Structure 1
Amino acid sequence: MYTETERCVRAVQSKDARFDGWFFTAVLTTRIYCRPSCPVVPPKPENMTFYPSAAACQQAGFRACKRCRPDTSPGSPEWNQRADLVARAMRLIADGVVDREGVPGLAARLGYSTRQVERQLLAELGAGPLALARAQRAQTARILIETTALPMADIAFAAGFSAIRTFNDTVREVYALAPGELRTRAAKRTAPDTPDTPGSLSLRLPFRAPLNPDNLFGHLAATAVPGVEEWRDGAYRRTLRLPYGHGVVALTPRPDHIACRLTLSDLRDLTVAISRCRRLLDLDADPVAIDDQLRTDPLLAPLVDKAPGRRVPRTVDEAEFAVRAVLGQQVSTAAARTHAARLVTAHGEPVDDTEGGLTHLFPTPGALAALDPGTLAMPRTRRTTFTTLVNQLADGSLRLGVEHDWSETRALLLALPGFGPWTVDVIAMRGLGDPDAFLPTDLGIRRAAQELGLPATPAALTARAAAWRPWRAYAVQYLWATDSHPINFLPV
């Protein structure tokens, strides 16, 4: 979009927050870059230029605006609605792969050469993987500077910088303030949503309005696995398995943001934890574009108008979700939770939770592959499905990370015994993040279709749903909302 100058100028002049994260406005006279909704008086159009990423702005010599704080914008929705090379690379960079494995590791995961990855990212985003990772490190550093009392040396290490000098120079270059000045300014602003406990961080996760929290948090709470997840004091809480350690997160819906409180065993995992929580809650979606498309169907329009801004509840761990999808085959939500809780107690790793009732990390595929299949309280055919899945996840023959192509992964899943279209599409929708995944055979969807006057048979409903593409996963959320199932309501 950043190449459509007239459209970008109109968005900046109207301070339209819907475009925050889609592009960034760089002001030639001040050498500052802003989000489109920046509250200051817009510059003259001839003094504006537009970039597709904060990293591109920084690479061109612009610094971040101190008023609108453009690095706190929601992420571009492009990276979660596409499965091409650039989108998959951006999801991996957000997950910290460049910091942990370097650009060669990024390229290897994507199956391309380093040169190909750099060329495509530069062409679409105006910055290569190192510049994009550097911008992300700067943002992580700012969060730690402003929300903790950690020494600056510890912050530099946690944010991924190799040296204190590099940390100081980057912060000054990006924010035009020294790290100590950032901390002083932050101390004068509003206190966090929730008082911090020792070792915890409180921050705000932005999103594009509107956001309807009912199905999003209702689904997570209703399907929560005891020990791993819980709903407590108005927050969804869960344990996180992270590259350097583990964590506990509490996510609370607010009118204009999600309050996030993180407790991490290793602060180097902060960037990854934030990225996975945003993905879990689908916070980078563009609800206006999605809802406008779904409203074109006169039978869906009343559902959208009644409660706009529904998101797709996703996952923080794709392998975990695939296992849970198999446990949920042809059983009730309560039975699926019971099965999962038994596995967690027997094979999960214990963790301490001083604020609630979380006790374990969800078991790894390796731990589940080592268990005795005879101890699984499920039919023999589902036991085969379960053991085949965890064995392939454990030995690496099946991978479900954010870097993988959705179509190829679907084909691999369909080849597994006991994996039909419903299981594959549930994993595609909530595990892989495919915004167009659809569940025409789902009982709840078929009941909703019949109630609304939509075609009831899977083939006919799929044909009708072609007009909803590429947002059929969001249509699923609106159709499910016609039911009185607990997944559609915030717990009280």
Structure 2
Amino acid sequence: MDDDLDRCARAVRARDPRFDGWFVTGVRSTGIYCRPSCPAVPPHPDRMCFFPTAAAAQQAGFRACKRCRPDATPGSPAWDHRADVVGRAMRLIADGVVDRDGVGGLAARLGFSVRQVQRHLRAEVGAGPLALARAQRAQTARVLVETTDLPLTEVAFAAGFGSVRAFNDVVRAVFASSPGELRRRAHAGSTSSAPGALALRLPFRAPLHPDNLFGHLAATAVPGVEEWRDGAYRRTLRLPGGPGVVALRPAGDHVACALHLTELRDLTAAIARCRRLLDLDADPQAVDEVLATDPALAPLVRAAPGRRVPRSVDAEELAVRAVLGQQVSTAAAATHAARLAVAVGEPVHDPAGGLTRLFPTPAALREVADEDLRLPASRRAALRGLVTAVAEGRVELGPGADRAAARTALLALPGIGPWTVETVAMRGLGDPDAFLPGDLGVRVAAERLGLPASPGGLTRHAAAWRPWRAYAVQYLWATGDHPVNRLPAA
């Protein structure tokens, strides 16, 4: 949260949506917390208090505003781009680690003691891991209550609650309504789906330029694992409770998300991974404000503000695909990846047809025969070294990975150079400052714009773009005529 309380108060008085997700506002006189852009008349500053997360507000005894629904805002960009223990912890909690493995499991993934993790989180976000996970369960429960016709007992356990009583108590405390009242207000019967099928709206901070985001995902799609169909990007998901299938479609002020899950308990993790894939928690105005100070980038930013970094639902998958993509076209890389998916990928059922496989895990890829790889010897050795290191835990690439440690571990592997490492950092680990000065497309664009074309010269020039160099790469790539830069035909 911004420590400048006056600035927070000004954002509330201006109802500024740019700050939604950065903090929530507690109103002492009503006991309600709101997003900064709440349309209600702003309270007097003396009645305001500010919290960095909804969990912190809930822990202080505030309940969510029924009008602005602060629990449905984009996440804070801070947790997305911060590389410290708090940022790593928040990404793991969003992925459902506390619900699956407890606070001890979270601490083990971070390499800290439980006490250290709790102290760091309370100091930075005003709530411990259990309170943060509780707030997340409450929001998952609300989504299930409002978008399905599942019996409320099933909703309670699908959202991760240990009992129906705990489910009822938390929903009443957070939303000042019973689960039944939430369902009646939402008219769930008119929009309900079959069990396992969910239709959701994923919010983001405007603007969002979808062309390079969805264009990149569609152009690099691995047949059987991903596809572009009827104006939507579709792919399979490897989730803790079993395979899932998602369809994501740009829809103006939100991204429409249709999910088919084996296990509804995976909803929280599935949403977190889809948001990470599409970079939906970014703050595009903060990014573009920095990049537009460069005269070479300013026209690109003005022409298409809000570019996101197309990321991945699984950094281990992205790392494998980055190695497969070394010095070949996007089409060739997709062909190699599809061959591996057919060879050792787990079969899945796609209710709509078209998708047939999960992308194989590193452990499965260790068993691939040489004839199924069909790669040059050097790249085959690099791939085998990578999947072995990941499978043995010598390279950690999960949501809570230490980005600096991951870079070091990857660079130590044979056949893995700076281009591959920075590609993994940018698209797999979500580092907003990852940079590819040696990439051919980046160098061609730089030369066209009158920027230094050598990797060293461009790196020195790009120091002014920090900490958003990964977004500068998107603007540079977009100057080329390539399918990754445009939405495919519906």
- Change beyond 3 A, Cα 1:336–1:188: closer
**Deviation string for 1:307-333 (max 9, x for gaps)?**
000000000011111111111011111
**Deviation string for 1:188-231 (max 9, x for gaps)?**
89x76xx8466310010000000000000000000000000000
Partner secondary structure for residue 351 of structure 1 = coil
Distance 1:479 1:297 in 2: 13
Instruction: Work out which of the residue numbers 461, 470, 474 in structure 2 matches 1:473.
Output: 470
Given that 2:147 and 2:193 are in contact with CA atoms closer than 8 Å, whether structure 1 keeps it comes out as: no
Q: Unmatched 5+ residue regions in structure 1?
A: none
Deviation at 1:373, TM superposition (A): 2.6
1:405 aligns with 402
2:225 aligns with 228
Task: Kindly provide the amino acid, as one letter, of the partner of residue 415 in structure 1.
Answer: A
Number of aligned residue pairs: give it: 489
Q: Do residues 450 (structure 1) and 447 (structure 2) align?
A: yes
Partner secondary structure for residue 228 of structure 2 = strand
Distance 1:66 1:142 in 2: 12
Structural mapping, 1:264-303, within 5 Å: 264-303=261-300
Partner secondary structure for residue 240 of structure 1 = strand
2:180 aligns with 180
Structural mapping, 1:31-110, within 5 Å: 31-110=31-110
- Of 243-252 and 347-356, deviating more is 347-356
1:131 aligns with 131
Partner secondary structure for residue 258 of structure 2 = strand
Task: Kindly provide the amino acid, as one letter, of the partner of residue 16 in structure 2.
Answer: D
Distance 1:468 1:303 in 2: 14
Alignment root-mean-square deviation, CA = 1.2
- Of 373-382 and 89-98, deviating more is 373-382
Instruction: Work out which of the residue numbers 367, 381, 384 in structure 1 matches 2:381.
Output: 384
**Deviation string for 1:127-177 (max 9, x for gaps)?**
000000000000000000000000111111111100110000000000000
Partner secondary structure for residue 230 of structure 1 = strand
- Of 369-378 and 112-121, deviating more is 369-378
Distance 1:223 1:296 in 2: 31
2:457 aligns with 460
- Change beyond 3 A, Cα 1:177–1:434: same
Deviation at 1:374, TM superposition (A): 4.3
Distance 1:394 1:374 in 2: 21
Given that 1:2 and 1:51 are in contact with CA atoms closer than 8 Å, whether structure 2 keeps it comes out as: no
Given that 1:373 and 1:387 are in contact with CA atoms closer than 8 Å, whether structure 2 keeps it comes out as: no
- Change beyond 3 A, Cα 1:453–1:2: closer
Distance 2:188 2:36 in 1: 25
Structural mapping, 1:224-373, within 5 Å: 224-373=221-370
Given that 1:436 and 1:472 are in contact with CA atoms closer than 8 Å, whether structure 2 keeps it comes out as: yes
Given that 2:343 and 2:372 are in contact with CA atoms closer than 8 Å, whether structure 1 keeps it comes out as: no
Partner secondary structure for residue 260 of structure 1 = strand
Deviation at 1:403, TM superposition (A): 1.1
- Of 31-40 and 180-189, deviating more is 180-189
Partner secondary structure for residue 378 of structure 1 = coil
Distance 1:426 1:375 in 2: 24
Given that 1:215 and 1:487 are in contact with CA atoms closer than 8 Å, whether structure 2 keeps it comes out as: yes
Distance 1:196 1:220 in 2: 27
- Change beyond 3 A, Cα 1:404–1:97: same
Structural mapping, 1:82-231, within 5 Å: 82-187=82-187, 196=193, 199-231=196-228
Deviation at 1:2, TM superposition (A): 4.1
Q: Do residues 394 (structure 1) and 391 (structure 2) align?
A: yes
Distance 1:438 1:397 in 2: 24
Given that 1:33 and 1:64 are in contact with CA atoms closer than 8 Å, whether structure 2 keeps it comes out as: yes
2:17 aligns with 17
**Deviation string for 1:254-292 (max 9, x for gaps)?**
110000010000001000000000000000000000000
Task: Kindly provide the amino acid, as one letter, of the partner of residue 162 in structure 2.
Answer: S
Task: Kindly provide the amino acid, as one letter, of the partner of residue 435 in structure 2.
Answer: F
Distance 2:321 2:27 in 1: 49
**Deviation string for 1:396-435 (max 9, x for gaps)?**
2222112121111101000111111111110110011110
Task: Kindly provide the amino acid, as one letter, of the partner of residue 186 in structure 1.
Answer: A
Deviation at 1:375, TM superposition (A): 3.5
Distance 1:285 1:490 in 2: 20
Task: Kindly provide the amino acid, as one letter, of the partner of residue 442 in structure 1.
Answer: D
Distance 2:348 2:178 in 1: 37
**Deviation string for 1:429-451 (max 9, x for gaps)?**
00111100000110000100010
Partner secondary structure for residue 116 of structure 2 = helix
Partner secondary structure for residue 89 of structure 2 = helix
Task: Kindly provide the amino acid, as one letter, of the partner of residue 98 in structure 1.
Answer: V
**Deviation string for 1:345-378 (max 9, x for gaps)?**
1111111112130111111111110122344211
Task: Kindly provide the amino acid, as one letter, of the partner of residue 344 in structure 2.
Answer: H
Structure-1-length-normalised TM-score: 0.98
Deviation at 1:335, TM superposition (A): 0.6
Distance 2:373 2:136 in 1: 43
- Change beyond 3 A, Cα 1:351–1:288: same
Partner secondary structure for residue 360 of structure 1 = coil
**Deviation string for 1:111-141 (max 9, x for gaps)?**
1111111011001111000000000000000
Distance 2:126 2:345 in 1: 43
**Deviation string for 1:437-474 (max 9, x for gaps)?**
00011000010001000001110000000000000000
Distance 1:26 1:374 in 2: 62
